[in-house]
Homo-oligomer: A and B are copies of this chain.
């Protein structure tokens, strides 16, 4: 049995590993365009920030380690075409040769790439995205060479994590956000905490600003906006990602939301014997009750594992996402799960909300830590979402809410949870319980 995987990062290597473990006799071949295998893409901002010292620390396993597992990983190999009729793929080798590789089952894990906004100057030296190891290597080199002032375009996950990284490197930062708030996956009132925190640390945050041009001669000298020019010697473009789904599309595979590859719960595409997983594919959203495109490493790994298992005869199904995410920005953590108010409105669902300020540990414990919880629920008390902003590990409490969403809990169910308490770890009324109690009171009125 020949299993072929296109893509050698999270979903791809997760699929390959699972397939080989489940079916050791299968031949498992992976083709990756990049030089690096199985690297932690989510770790790239931490490499920029110097928090992760060595590039090689980001490599989970090397080609040689996969080879020992019996998995053939081919790096620098560009898959140019999928031929579903022949059950073959066309591959360009690093030497430029075209070869055809047959498959019994094919797993597409081609990932995503940064969106390129339509503004002039993207090709100037000193303008980067945060997407691959070589790209971040260049950013590190620029920092070492003495970057003084950076402009980050886009205040989403990557943009904010890059604020964190460049701040650690002592770079002066301007963050430009087209819409009225950073961190668009949380509600504006919660995002305000994040914005204020960044500003308190000296980051220049500008919202509702249009970038018109990145200017310079050969090397970037500044960013032109509708509010004026911002001189800088580094620009990070982080306006979101888009799925690498062109290869699949070329083979006639159906695409779905935002152009991502359509898959069912078994990670099957519309063409037999072809699976897709990870940042190139849609994910079932349990609260949307529809597919969504929310590319994240944890989903990629889960989907890859399922694709790999099913490619060798398994019947695994992806349970779907609830929209959980977490990130660190300077000294704040931001956690979110479920629907934001905007998403709820978009789905035509009017939600109630409560917001509570709580501590992360017992108030008498040293450095108790402050945090804010926003809980979203409907008139019947069913929970639809939660957002957390706070210091230390506060945001990680989002997992309780994510689990509650999987269980379709009400605020009453949440209020009754037997969560752990001890002064170093929590206040006696856990933040989740406080939010649930306040929500219950609101519902009773």
Contact = CB atoms under 8 A, between A and B. Distances in A.
Contact of A364 (B40, B301, B396, B417): B40
Contacts of A396: 393, 396-397, 420, 425-426
Most buried by B among A327, A404, A416: A416
A296 interface: yes
A418 B402 contact: yes
A42 interface: yes
Nearest to A336: B420
Contact of A324 (B286, B335, B395, B418): B418
Contacts of A58: 364
A326 B420 contact: yes
Contact of A416 (B40, B318, B417): B318
Contacts of A337: 418, 420
B328 A42 contact: no
A406 B406 contact: no
A15 to B, nearest CB: 14
A59 to B, nearest CB: 9
Given A397-B399, A425-B326, A298 B364 contact: no
Contacts of A430: 298, 399
A323 interface: yes
Contact of A42 (B301, B406, B422, B432): B422
A197 to B, nearest CB: 15
A423 interface: yes
Contacts of A393: 392-393, 396, 425
B400 A400 contact: yes
A66 interface: no
Contacts of A400: 399-400, 403
A429 interface: yes
A297 interface: yes
A419 B397 contact: no
A416 B321 CA distance: 8
A296 B429 CA distance: 12
Nearest to A46: B423
Most buried by B among A364, A405, A424: A364
A305 B434 CA distance: 12
A327 B423 CA distance: 8
Contacts of A327: 422
A57 B319 contact: no
Contacts of A321: 418
A157 to B, nearest CB: 8
Interface string A371-415: 000000000000000000000110111111011111101000101
Contact of A402 (B364, B398, B420, B429): B420
Contacts of A420: 298, 324-326, 335, 337, 395-396, 398-399, 402
Contacts of A397: 396, 399
Contacts of A51: 365-366
A84 interface: no
Interface of A: 10, 40, 42-43, 46, 51-52, 57-58, 60, 161, 286, 296-299, 301-302, 305, 318-328, 333, 335, 337, 362-366, 392-393, 395-400, 402-407, 409, 413, 415-426, 428-430, 432-433, 437
13 contacts: A10-B428, A42-B421, A296-B421, A298-B429, A305-B437, A326-B420, A392-B393, A393-B393, A396-B420, A402-B418, A402-B419, A406-B417, A406-B418
